[in-house]
Structure 1
Amino acid sequence: MQTRHLLFCLLAGTALAACNREPTPTDTAPAATTPAPDAAATAPAYAFSDDITAGDFSELVKTLSSDEFEGRGPGTPGGEKTVEYIKAQFVRIGLQPGNDGSWFQDVPMAETTADESATLAIDVAGKTTELKFGPDMVLNTRTGKTEVKVEDSPLVFVGYGVDAPEQDWNDYAGVDVKGKTVVILVNDPGFHAGDESLFEGKRMTYYGRWTYKFEEAARKGAKAAIIIHDTPGASYGWDVVESSWSGPQYDLRAADDPAPRLPAQGWITGDAAKQLFADAGLDLDEMYAAAGKRGFKAVPLDATVSFDLKSTVTEKSSRNVIGVLPGTERPDEAVVYMGHWDHLGKHDGEEGDNIYNGAVDNATGVAGIIEIAGKFARTTPAPKRSLAFIAVTLEESGLLGSQYYVAHPAFPLDKTVGVINIDAMGVYGKSRDLVVVGKGNSELEDLLKAQTDKQGRTLEEESTPESGFYFRSDHFNFAKAGVPALYTESGEDLVEGGREAGEAAARDYNANRYHKPGDEYSDSWKLDGVVEDLQALYGVGRVLVDGDQWPNWYEGNAFRAARDEMMGDGDSPDSGEQEAETGAN
């Protein structure tokens, strides 16, 4: 999950590597609970070139997003077919198994499927309203329990649900929510108020993400938490919430994630929230205004909520795929390219097309890292530092595969030079710009600028910083741990049609394909822009593996202290001494 903007995204590199090589390395037996696919189904048949091409890229995306892969759901036959296919590509290229002799890193998980007949019964002064799963609300549990029952839990409106001492802001001040259900607004306090003096104004911080809000409610001891949906604040419509929170939901096992968890969490529609507040004698618009002012105090709603949430819980295992190109001089130091392979799978209960193919999100990202791996494997000189190519699982379930990797890294984090993530790529042609999501974060941007300068392109900030995309993809787990991480989106100023065309394409994707069965490969895609984006991001890695720079976060960045502490002497080696050369292209 997690979500995108233009979904014009990321990554680095260039080409894919040679062809007609038989997979020979052995691997440890998979730990997943689903049957392994027939090996013939993943055997490479396409003759790949030695460089990035639109043809190579499209072949990879077409395969990964085909109906045969059933939407790449973790823990499903389609998911197993996916990881075996990625492994086969890494073998073909000539990478080495990257996880202590294995191509795979097992990620233990719990699959929880809520009974969607569940309702939220809200009682206000004797009037009971039942909200239905899907059209009115979504609800799930991360506890691993097959039943979570809540009776007459008092509802408390806690504004944006933020406790940020450095911002002198605490929506929980003066209220005890233990055993209660908190109702929360999405995004940051400055967003709806349009107040640039609050947090970062329109630009979302991590406090604005729904994941943080549930985490904080759990730390405060709440019984449950409900977020009020609004399309501008979430940056996507209710249909995305409904599709993303329906069907199987995946999580790390509690034993692998010691952070506190809520018994239940979910969302309600804006219309349902308006009715709830009106029944409680309050005006929701006035509550938005109050919550966006410093000194806001939580408001008990004089209402209770009850529900009996039954779920089917199954212990499963999904897998990250890790391939490594060892460095010739400093193999213990690594540059990481990554992208998530999972999508939303197949929704058996839905009529019509029920396969969520995830072509843009994120077959394009996986194709991108494969292309880049091939380019490095076929380009001389061989890299001095190692390169790790990681296709992670469970991104759509909360960045879980990357979270597990960061806790169990193949390369220690203090030996990880930097991370370049691809989470979706723009398929609308060349652009005059390249978007850096969260622009102004790290010195990796300086290296990227040297690449785009050569292409005659500019680096731009994302057009909707209020959407918080920097916190919504797998690189963020590295960032939280202190490792500099670069996240880009394809540009919005298209060579053919300009910004108007780019924005129209983005709106069309978000409205008609994002997290929907319509996210399928199309022969109408214009992939010359993909090739150019990958070349730029490849160039960043080329400089890093050929040199000895250790890019850091910019001064004042929230993640810099963690990196400085990690490196042991208060500063990263050679930090800030970036060179503009690009290495071989």
Structure 2
Amino acid sequence: MRSSIAAIAVLLSLAACSTEGTDKPAASATGAPSIDTMKRLVEELSSDAYEGRAPGSAGEEKTLALLAKEFEKLGLKPGNKGSWFQDVPLVEITAKNVSPLSFTGGKGSVTAAYGPEMVVGTYRTTQKHIDVKDSPVVFVGYGINAPEKGWNDYAGVDVKGKTVVILVNDPDYETEGLSGPFNGRAMTYYGRWTYKFEEAARQGAAAAIIVHDTVPAAYGWNVVQSSWTGAQHVADSANGNADQSAAIGWMQKDKAAALFASAGMDLTAQMAAAKKKGFKAVPLGNVKANVSFDNTLRKHSSKNVVALLPGKTRPDEYVLYSAHWDHLGHCQAAPDGDDICNGAVDNATGTAALVALAEANVKAGPTDRSQVFLAVTAEESGLLGSAYYGNNPIYPFVKTVGGVNMDALSVAGEAKNVVVIGKGKSQLDAYLDRALKAQGRVATTEPTPEKGYYYRSDHFSFAKHGLPMLYFEGGEDLVKGGTNAGMAAAEDYTKNRYHGPKDEYDPNWDWTGVLADLKIYYTVGRDLASTTDWPNWMDGDEFRAIRDKDRAGQ
């Protein structure tokens, strides 16, 4: 999903995240998931034989078979009415014969080449050819329509049939603090690219193009190019997603600057104007957008893997462990010709962790509540597998206590901290704090909340249904080398391996940090599965009302 992030140690106050029983010691702090299991499975899952574990590929078949075999060997039960799998209906869309994205009608024509300068695709699952022709272009700032905030970038403009150009992130992402119309520095869902395309479709846009800017996007163009070229997967629907924009994609910032210049405008000035409340969308004069491509379409059912360790006294109450098994498959080749995005860290580590935690819990014996181990598909395509489970839960969320999500464990070595994504949102923080205290470690907040990591992994799919989920990452205040070493490791991964062919297994990895973090996941999960408490979201949190409504019916 993403790389580790830099952290500044800030101890989480237990009082701020109180829940019933928080004075209890961590129930199973001595649990020791097996690093040998982790090493074996990460090496296997990220080998070239699995071809990058793309949904719908031979790599998926190998992954599913391996996970089912591992869970069965441990004595777990198939988690979906006697099956290890939950079908997730998807459509694989591969764009072919992609034309350049061209803009005509201005002072001069502007052309962006597919791959190095722009990427484009579609959510429409029945349309074999897309042709956006002579579509008027409108700059809609951050592309946000938020009535509750009195903000509407589409106010007073009709974009039906037009091409909208959109900025990534929220208008106040550069704010130092967390105060502002969109939580200041902390990204809201309005800042995510998924929202931008959703809103553009609601507005009737024929095409939606996001301007790539490395800082607010939180990744370089290499990530966009590797993620958006080749086979893409979208959720299937009864209407074939006909209500979505015909074309969606990204363009390099320098190409956007050239586009604005062709319309007699300055991109930098327009970006500054878009940060202010009351911004009005700006038609780019007589400029028209053109792009076309063919689609190879293939409907298929990918699969979530579901394993159950039944509880001994309250088996109808559940604790959820989640991780995504998929990665990008074949992708943009490295200079040496390697075109397999193996996804060793992202997310063979999290997938292997599911098995290692199941193994540790089986050895320790069942808890009062049941434990569910869920490996989801198509996270890299927009959290599709977890979203499908969220809409079609095998175990009702009202009966699910909470859980943990694991995505890209840190192999940089043991750290003095963990970075909590969404720290302070739920009472699960107290469970984490107790487990960390037993290790002499601390929980710290995200140092870069403007990057919106809370909305970029599978826990978000469950949170939208009211389920408290804990998601943390290995810290960067390393025992060996401190924050300088941790930040250097994170930067190296992001620059050289993240969503690229070089995210490969390395026998020289330092597994001490992985083991420490696995013990935390084990302790938190086992405590949740042993208590009678029902931890909730904190008062005022965006997901609290959903949970309260569900629990009120019990």
TM bucket (normalised to shorter chain) is: over 0.9
Which residue of structure 2 aligns with residue 524 of structure 1?
508
Deviation track 1:15-55 (CA, whole Å, cap 9, x = no partner) reads: 9xxxxxxxxxxxxxxxxxxxxxxxxxxxxxxxxxx942322
Which residue of structure 2 aligns with residue 310 of structure 1?
294
- Describe the SS at the equivalent of 2:67: helix
Using the alignment, how far apart are the partners of 2:249 and 2:475 within structure 1? 34
Using the alignment, how far apart are the partners of 2:57 and 2:410 within structure 1? 28
Using the alignment, how far apart are the partners of 2:427 and 2:300 within structure 1? 39
Contact 1:5 1:469 in 2 (8 A): no
Is 1:246 aligned with 2:215?
A: no
Which residue of structure 2 aligns with residue 486 of structure 1?
470
Post-superposition offset of 1:172: 1.0
Using the alignment, how far apart are the partners of 1:165 and 1:233 within structure 2? 23
Aligned pair partner of 2:399 in 394, 415, 418: 415
- Describe the SS at the equivalent of 2:226: helix
Aligned pair partner of 2:238 in 231, 235, 255: 255
Which residue of structure 1 aligns with residue 18 of structure 2?
none
Is 1:210 aligned with 2:183?
A: no
Aligned-pair identity (%): 51
- Describe the SS at the equivalent of 1:254: coil
Q: Indicate how the Cα distance of structure 1 residues 7 and 518 shifts in structure 2: closer, same or farther if over 3 A, else same.
A: farther
Q: Count the aligned residue pairs.
A: 531
Between stretches 233-242 and 122-131, larger displacement belongs to 122-131
Q: Output aligned runs, 1:439-450, within 5 Å.
A: 439-450=423-434
Post-superposition offset of 1:193: 6.1
Is 1:377 aligned with 2:359?
A: no
Which residue of structure 2 aligns with residue 434 of structure 1?
418
Contact 2:109 2:262 in 1 (8 A): no
Unaligned runs of 5+ in 2: 8-25
Q: Indicate how the Cα distance of structure 1 residues 473 and 69 shifts in structure 2: closer, same or farther if over 3 A, else same.
A: same
Contact 1:113 1:249 in 2 (8 A): yes
Q: Output aligned runs, 1:338-357, within 5 Å.
A: 338-347=322-331, 352-357=337-342
Using the alignment, how far apart are the partners of 2:367 and 2:470 within structure 1? 20
Is 1:277 aligned with 2:276?
A: no
Q: What TM-score do you get using the length of structure 2 for normalisation?
A: 0.92
Aligned pair partner of 2:166 in 168, 184, 187: 184
Post-superposition offset of 1:7: 10
Post-superposition offset of 1:79: 1.1
Using the alignment, how far apart are the partners of 2:118 and 2:330 within structure 1? 21
Deviation track 1:515-535 (CA, whole Å, cap 9, x = no partner) reads: 111000111211111111111
One-letter identity of the residue aligned with 1:392: V
- Describe the SS at the equivalent of 1:233: helix
Contact 2:233 2:381 in 1 (8 A): yes
Q: Output aligned runs, 1:123-134, within 5 Å.
A: 123-125=104-106, 127-134=108-115
Instruction: Supply the RMSD in Å over aligned alpha carbons.
Output: 2.1
Which residue of structure 2 aligns with residue 512 of structure 1?
496
- Describe the SS at the equivalent of 2:158: coil
Which residue of structure 1 aligns with residue 43 of structure 2?
62
Is 1:76 aligned with 2:57?
A: yes
Which residue of structure 2 aligns with residue 105 of structure 1?
86
Contact 2:2 2:408 in 1 (8 A): no
Post-superposition offset of 1:222: 1.1
Using the alignment, how far apart are the partners of 2:42 and 2:82 within structure 1? 27
Which residue of structure 2 aligns with residue 231 of structure 1?
214
Using the alignment, how far apart are the partners of 2:537 and 2:436 within structure 1? 20
Q: Indicate how the Cα distance of structure 1 residues 258 and 153 shifts in structure 2: closer, same or farther if over 3 A, else same.
A: closer
One-letter identity of the residue aligned with 1:374: E
Using the alignment, how far apart are the partners of 1:281 and 1:332 within structure 2? 64
Deviation track 1:452-474 (CA, whole Å, cap 9, x = no partner) reads: 01111110012211111110001
One-letter identity of the residue aligned with 1:183: V
Is 1:175 aligned with 2:188?
A: no
Between stretches 295-304 and 492-501, larger displacement belongs to 295-304
Which residue of structure 1 aligns with residue 343 of structure 2?
358
Using the alignment, how far apart are the partners of 1:459 and 1:546 within structure 2? 23
Using the alignment, how far apart are the partners of 1:78 and 1:527 within structure 2? 26
Q: Indicate how the Cα distance of structure 1 residues 52 and 453 shifts in structure 2: closer, same or farther if over 3 A, else same.
A: same
Contact 1:13 1:369 in 2 (8 A): no
Deviation track 1:140-191 (CA, whole Å, cap 9, x = no partner) reads: 0110111111111111111101111222211111111111111100001101
Which residue of structure 2 aligns with residue 296 of structure 1?
279
Contact 2:28 2:527 in 1 (8 A): no
Contact 2:132 2:247 in 1 (8 A): no
Post-superposition offset of 1:409: 1.0
Using the alignment, how far apart are the partners of 1:277 and 1:59 within structure 2? 52
Which residue of structure 2 aligns with residue 52 of structure 1?
33
Q: Indicate how the Cα distance of structure 1 residues 13 and 91 shifts in structure 2: closer, same or farther if over 3 A, else same.
A: farther
Contact 1:432 1:457 in 2 (8 A): yes
Contact 2:6 2:476 in 1 (8 A): no
Aligned pair partner of 1:161 in 129, 135, 143: 143
Using the alignment, how far apart are the partners of 2:325 and 2:300 within structure 1? 17
Using the alignment, how far apart are the partners of 2:90 and 2:28 within structure 1? 34
Deviation track 1:72-115 (CA, whole Å, cap 9, x = no partner) reads: 11111111101110111111111100011100111111000111
Post-superposition offset of 1:399: 0.4
Q: Which has the higher contact order (CA 8 A, sep 6+)?
A: 2
Contact 1:193 1:292 in 2 (8 A): no
Q: Indicate how the Cα distance of structure 1 residues 116 and 134 shifts in structure 2: closer, same or farther if over 3 A, else same.
A: farther
Using the alignment, how far apart are the partners of 1:415 and 1:488 within structure 2? 23
Is 1:457 aligned with 2:441?
A: yes
- Describe the SS at the equivalent of 1:501: helix
- Describe the SS at the equivalent of 1:190: coil
Which residue of structure 2 aligns with residue 564 of structure 1?
548
- Superposition misfits of 4+ residues, deviation over 6 angstroms: 12-15, 256-259, 348-351
Post-superposition offset of 1:125: 2.9
Q: Indicate how the Cα distance of structure 1 residues 439 and 366 shifts in structure 2: closer, same or farther if over 3 A, else same.
A: same
Which residue of structure 2 aligns with residue 495 of structure 1?
479
Is 1:92 aligned with 2:73?
A: yes
